[in-house]
Structure 1
Amino acid sequence: MTPRNKRRTLIDQLIGRQVGLLAILLLVVGVSQYLILRSVLYHSTARTLDGEISVLKPIIHHTMASRGIPGLSHLAQILVSRLRAPGVEVFITNAARQKLASSSTLKAAVPHFSTAPYFIWNHRIVVDAVIGNPYYPSGYIWLLSSLSPLHAILRRDAELYVFLASLSLILAGWLGALSVRQTLRPLETIRESTQRIASGEFGHLTHLDNAPQEIEDLGRSIDRMSQSIQELFLQEKTLSEQMRRFVADASHELRTPLTSITGFLDLMARGELTPEEQARGLRVIRSQGKRMARLVNQLLTLSRMDSAEPSQLNVTEVALNRWLDDLLPEIQRIIAPRPLTTHIAPVVALAEPDHLADALYSLLENIQRYTPEDTQVLITLASQGGYAVLSVEDSGPGISPENLPHIFERFFRGDRSRSSTSGGTGLGLAIVKSVVEAMSGRVSAKNVEPHGMCFQISLPQPNHS
């Protein structure tokens, strides 16, 4: 048997302590009862002997008055004959403690004289009295009663008490086991739940009903822990999947321009291209090189935004209406020849102007890349619920509802069948989301009726931050 198997369970410990405490209590009660009963029996016997002496004193007094001291010896013989009751003995001596008469079979000398109500001598209760004048006694009398009958009563009482106490302990152990197991059943449920959670069943709940308050609170804490672990596990799984896709997509995006560049370089090295084809190849190499540089820069931007906190950015109070007015020429250049409409209200927000401008340009480049040239573009700036809301809306084709929840994912393209010839890397909207969240803001997207797309950037205002 291993040391682990030798360890007592909590139920065994609780039952053992319960029975142990009851045993101590019964022991204290039993000892107290024994001592009290013994004292009562001793005092009762002593009072009986005192009563006998009270009866004998008038006889002793009359004899001494009529016959004097010489008659005491004759009186002693009479008293001895009268007190031959079972278990009661008498000693009578003169003033010199010389035995005059005795009904006792003891060979010992006469008892000592005591002023106590009674005393124990040779396993007997002894009560004594003075014969004659208390100051000048003519003799002494002792009445003795054997302790054997009293000890027999005490022994029978102790045996009965031990039997009843043992029966009580057995019943207490049995009933206590039932009660403790019933009380600790929720703990057993918690133990099973934690084992299932430890084995990987994240999200498992204890489902405790009608449990004691403390155990119910413990169960709720374990439920919250289980759900938190499940959420973290799912997040980790999602992040791992996103990282896998990210690495695969990044590799694919880099491999495509590298393939074009190396292909043209090989042809040029072999001299198989005409001057016109070489010029076209150089343009392709330059274009693909710029595309790779843009992709690397976007990846670096995402990496910085992932590790950035609002305190690390130069977030200040920005008058977005004036900031937007300054950007209008560049905005019109990006979306040209698409017509632009603006509704700008005076709004102040907490933002980093340069990063916010990059996010806005990414939204506009998305419109320029994926919408027809006659698409209407509407930019709106307003205050709503403690946030400065910058909206960019177009009347283009929009995006399918099933793709809408994924547009801020990295390397996501709304048209999965579309190649990368449009120049997009699938990182623009992911960068917008990272930049806005790094400024404690939020970004959302929705389709508008009858057709088109609307992006909203919400940034906290100073008096609501």
Structure 2
Amino acid sequence: MAQKTLTDELIGRQILLLAILLVVIGVSQYLTLRIVLFHSEARSLHQEISVLAPIIHRAMVKDSAAHFHSLATLLVSRLKAPGVEVMITNRFGVIIANSSTLIPQVPPINFTQSYFIWHEHVVVDAPLGSPLHPSGYVWLMAQSHALNRILIRDIEFFSFLGFLSLAITGWLGSLSVKNSLAPLEQIRDGTARIAHGEIGHITTLKNPPKELAELGDAINTMSLSIKELLDQEKMLSEQMRRFVADASHELRTPLTALNGFLTLISEDNLTEAEVKQGFHAMRQEGQRMARLVNQLLTLSRLDNAKDTATHSSEVDLGEWIASVRPLLEPLTHDHLLQLVPAAVVVSVDRDRLTEMVFNLVENAARYTPPGSHITVRIGRHMDKGYIEVTDNGPGIKEADLPHIFDRFYRGDRSRTSKSGGSGLGLSIVQALAEAFNGHVTVANAPSPQHGAIFTIWLPLSSSH
């Protein structure tokens, strides 16, 4: 069995509602017309009987009942109209005169209603003389066949118009519904294209109803969101691929060096000085590998559980910078280190803050020539405190600035004067800053100055 379409469903409901309405209107019209026709006929009979009844009564009072029979018959024959029957009885109910072709039967007396139906006749009655002591009774009876034929013709004509209206409504409704549902078909086609792989497809509707316009907008938003998520997934997959490749490369280099030195030492062809130099090199490579693994673990913790990886507290940056100076000076022994403290209290993890600034100072010392200046400045701007690390080295290429915090990114090879780091230090700085609801920025010093400017922005403590 074929499934009904929405168009067929809506058209069917329109026709059904119209059919119910026509039935209600037809029944109401039939009942109203029947009442009007029968009341009109009864009114006409009442007008006749109101004239006839006094004449018959006077005749019955004036003449004896024996002589009245011929007079009553004459009156009945003269007053009888086409389709109208007359019956007269005395006060005992004995028929005196009757023009009816019905079975000689006296109709019931019913003075409480304006008319009643008896043997398919509309009947009105009246007493002759006083209603309390009548001399007889008179009935006028009009056949209802003509009235029923009028009602039947009315039903037939209304039924014809009803079926014609239903047919026209079905045709016009089909055109109207199809036109109204055209935007819905566009939406259906658009979602089908999305389902077949056209992620990000946008369906443009022309003058749609409000509900369909909202549905179209929702589907377009969903399509763009899915495309954005897929693009992000693709980007993250590519970043993960590069991350794994770079991490493998970074780990392979010290492992290769360690294996090489171990091979040379195992062959026992080295002098004591060469062995000593080899152990020193292996220790450096081991420290480098341990540092890389620790950095990877730090980034992994920050990616998966920032809330548990950090613990914020109030830190006075002025006091803190003075306490970490001994840790920074070994990094800048061949540079000129300058600290510019200020009384700024922020909400941060003290140890993580030291790690961030340590990475930035180490980065500045690694990529700037000996003798250059490195400045760590504390300050406050609006609702943020900041730590600014500047140098007067060669700066960063503009093409590298958008990627400077990417993991393992080292676009400017000219800055790796001392073999370079792992390429994770700045990524850790950015991840830690974001973990404390802050951020880190980078820029080159404005001309005519030169050098790089890294700024860590942190939220001020709520109590200050």
Under TM normalisation by the shorter chain, which class is it? over 0.9
Distance in 2 separating the partners of 1:309 and 1:260: 35
Task: Please name the residue that 1:25 is paired with.
Answer: 21
The answer to whether the aligner puts 1:392 opposite 2:378 as a matched pair is no
How far off its partner does 1:447 sit?
Answer: 1.5
Is the CA contact 2:368–2:415 (under 8 Å) kept in the aligned structure 1? no
Structure 1 stretch 317-326 or stretch 83-92: which is displaced more? 83-92
Task: Please name the residue that 2:461 is paired with.
Answer: 462
Counterpart of 1:462 in 2: which secondary structure? Answer: coil
Is the CA contact 1:63–1:71 (under 8 Å) kept in the aligned structure 2? no
How far off its partner does 1:420 sit?
Answer: 10
Counterpart of 2:324 in 1: which secondary structure? Answer: helix
The answer to whether the aligner puts 1:138 opposite 2:145 as a matched pair is no
How far off its partner does 1:417 sit?
Answer: 8.6
The answer to whether the aligner puts 1:68 opposite 2:64 as a matched pair is yes
Structure 1 stretch 327-336 or stretch 361-370: which is displaced more? 327-336
How far off its partner does 1:90 sit?
Answer: 1.6
The answer to whether the aligner puts 1:36 opposite 2:35 as a matched pair is no
Residue-pair matches, total: 461
The one-letter code sitting in structure 1 at the alignment partner of 2:61 is A
Distance in 2 separating the partners of 1:207 and 1:20: 34
Distance in 2 separating the partners of 1:312 and 1:25: 72
1:16 to 3, 9, 12: 12
1:417–1:203 Cα change, 3 Å? farther
1:98 to 83, 89, 94: 94
RMSD, aligned α-carbons: 2.2
The answer to whether the aligner puts 1:440 opposite 2:445 as a matched pair is no
Distance in 1 separating the partners of 2:80 and 2:337: 136
Structure 1 stretch 10-19 or stretch 207-216: which is displaced more? 207-216
Is the CA contact 2:397–2:412 (under 8 Å) kept in the aligned structure 1? no
Task: Please name the residue that 1:53 is paired with.
Answer: 49
The one-letter code sitting in structure 2 at the alignment partner of 1:97 is G
Q: Write the deviation string for residues 390-411 of structure 1: whole angstroms up to 9, x where unpaired.
A: 1111111122111111111111
The one-letter code sitting in structure 1 at the alignment partner of 2:67 is G
Is the CA contact 1:91–1:102 (under 8 Å) kept in the aligned structure 2? yes
The answer to whether the aligner puts 1:238 opposite 2:253 as a matched pair is no
The within-5 A match list for 1:204-223 is 204-223=201-220
The one-letter code sitting in structure 2 at the alignment partner of 1:111 is P
The within-5 A match list for 1:104-115 is 104-107=100-103, 109-115=105-111
Structure 1 stretch 428-437 or stretch 211-220: which is displaced more? 211-220
Distance in 2 separating the partners of 1:461 and 1:128: 106
Distance in 1 separating the partners of 2:207 and 2:41: 60
How far off its partner does 1:353 sit?
Answer: 0.9
Counterpart of 1:382 in 2: which secondary structure? Answer: strand
Distance in 2 separating the partners of 1:311 and 1:278: 45
Distance in 2 separating the partners of 1:246 and 1:89: 113
Task: Please name the residue that 2:147 is paired with.
Answer: 150
Distance in 2 separating the partners of 1:425 and 1:111: 121
Distance in 2 separating the partners of 1:286 and 1:312: 29
The within-5 A match list for 1:142-291 is 142-291=139-288
TM-score (norm 2): 0.93
Distance in 1 separating the partners of 2:463 and 2:132: 107
Task: Please name the residue that 1:77 is paired with.
Answer: 73
2:301 to 292, 301, 304: 304
Distance in 1 separating the partners of 2:463 and 2:310: 19
Distance in 2 separating the partners of 1:261 and 1:341: 38
1:216–1:464 Cα change, 3 Å? farther
1:36–1:420 Cα change, 3 Å? farther
Q: Write the deviation string for residues 315-340 of structure 1: whole angstroms up to 9, x where unpaired.
A: 11211111112122322221222112
Residue segments in structure 2 that go unaligned for 5+ positions in a row: none
Distance in 2 separating the partners of 1:376 and 1:414: 23
How far off its partner does 1:134 sit?
Answer: 2.1
Q: Write the deviation string for residues 88-118 of structure 1: whole angstroms up to 9, x where unpaired.
A: 1122222332323222222252222212211
Distance in 2 separating the partners of 1:407 and 1:98: 125
Is the CA contact 1:203–1:227 (under 8 Å) kept in the aligned structure 2? yes
Is the CA contact 1:308–1:438 (under 8 Å) kept in the aligned structure 2? no
Is the CA contact 2:360–2:426 (under 8 Å) kept in the aligned structure 1? yes
Distance in 2 separating the partners of 1:367 and 1:402: 19
The one-letter code sitting in structure 2 at the alignment partner of 1:456 is T
Is the CA contact 2:310–2:352 (under 8 Å) kept in the aligned structure 1? no
Structure 1 stretch 358-367 or stretch 51-60: which is displaced more? 51-60
Is the CA contact 1:69–1:138 (under 8 Å) kept in the aligned structure 2? no
How far off its partner does 1:216 sit?
Answer: 2.7
Counterpart of 1:279 in 2: which secondary structure? Answer: helix
The within-5 A match list for 1:379-458 is 379-415=376-412, 422-448=419-445, 449=447, 450-458=449-457
Is the CA contact 1:310–1:439 (under 8 Å) kept in the aligned structure 2? no
Distance in 2 separating the partners of 1:317 and 1:180: 67
Counterpart of 2:65 in 1: which secondary structure? Answer: coil
Q: Write the deviation string for residues 177-226 of structure 1: whole angstroms up to 9, x where unpaired.
A: 22233333333333233333333333333334543333333333333322
Residue segments in structure 1 that go unaligned for 5+ positions in a row: none
Task: Please name the residue that 1:318 is paired with.
Answer: 315
What percent identity do the matched residue pairs reach? 51
Counterpart of 1:451 in 2: which secondary structure? Answer: coil
Distance in 2 separating the partners of 1:28 and 1:78: 49
